[in-house]
Amino acid sequence: MTMQREPQGFTLLEILVAMAISIILISAAYFFYNYQLQARITQERVTDMQQNLRAAMLLMEDDIRMAGYDPNGTTGAAITVATASQFSFSYSLDGDANGTDDDGDGTVDEADEALLTETISYALFDEGSNGSTDLGRTVDTGSAVAVSENVEAMALTYMLEDGSFTETPTDLTQIVAVRFAILARTRGEEQGFTNNATYSYDPTDTSKVWGPYNDGHRRRLLRHMVRCRNRGI
């Protein structure tokens, strides 16, 4: 008669080896997942930053092109403030087709409402007082509205009729174009990343730079020049 051996369980060594392999596999899977998650978060932040920056640029471009537009010469539209950190101007706009009683006489869209003046101002401000500056757009006497969030810095330079550039024009009627540089940053810092880059905001002077900030924010620099094509019209 053949004796059958009772089944034996795993030895302690086998269990320890299996646990060690499992821990290695789980750790590898976790680190891979965490890497992919952080990469996705970073990409979303960078994309959001770039889209906000481009949208702000297009809005500024449209507004600046209208600076000083006064076809009838009756509204006094003009550039009013031009510094390295703020640009303000007014322009005429049609008031006879906006569905509003602009002169307060009880009649909407009448002929004498044909030309109104709107004042636009661009400057950095801290919306919400959270310690992060934003690019603000102010209409007339209203409150500034952020058109691009988390803007680290902005520099404005002005091209005059003689082709020269200056940050401090003394005669605002000589301004024919506005060159602006905007440096935006991501909302949050990226783990394991240090931004020690510098950003040259003046194409004619490489010594004028922002940074290095030595933090975990990714940044994008946008430089653009817009002609005030309606100035004096």
Q: Which segment of 11-20, 32-41, 185-194, 214-223 scores lowest on mean pLDDT? A: 32-41
Average pLDDT, the chain: 86
Q: Is the pTM of the predicted complex or chain greater than 0.85?
A: no
The dihedral of CA 12, 18, 24, 30: what is its sign?
negative
- pLDDT of amino acid 139: 95
Q: Which residue has the tokens 């209208």?
A: 66
- pLDDT of amino acid 75: 83
Q: Which of 197, 171, 233, 190 is nearest to 38 (CA)?
A: 190
Omega before 212 within 30 of 0, i.e. cis: yes
- pLDDT of amino acid 14: 80
CB 25 within 8 A of CB 186: no
Decide if pLDDT at 104 tops 80.
no
- By the 10 Å C-beta count (0-12 exposed, 13-18 middle, 19+ buried), 114 is classed as middle
Pairing between β-strand 175-185 and β-strand 151-160 as defined by DSSP bridges: antiparallel
Q: What's the half-sphere exposure (Cβ side, CA atoms, 13 Å) at 208?
A: 13
As a dihedral over the C-alpha atoms of residue 209, residue 214, residue 220, residue 222, rounded to 10 degrees, the angle is -10
Residues 48-103 pLDDT 10s: 999 999 999 999 999 999 999 988 888 889 999 999 999 999 998 765 555 555 55
Decide if pLDDT at 106 tops 70.
no
Residues 174-224 pLDDT 10s: 999 999 999 999 998 988 899 999 999 998 899 999 999 999 999 999 999
Q: Which amino acid is at 86?
A: Q
The pair phi, psi for residue 107, each rounded to 5°, is -115, 130
Let me know how long the chain is.
Answer: 233
- pLDDT of amino acid 3: 57
Decide if pLDDT at 39 tops 80.
no
Query: What's the helix, strand, coil split of the chain in %, to 5?
Result: 25, 30, 40
- pLDDT of amino acid 18: 85
- pLDDT of amino acid 199: 97
Question: What's the token pair of residue 91?
Answer: 């322009």
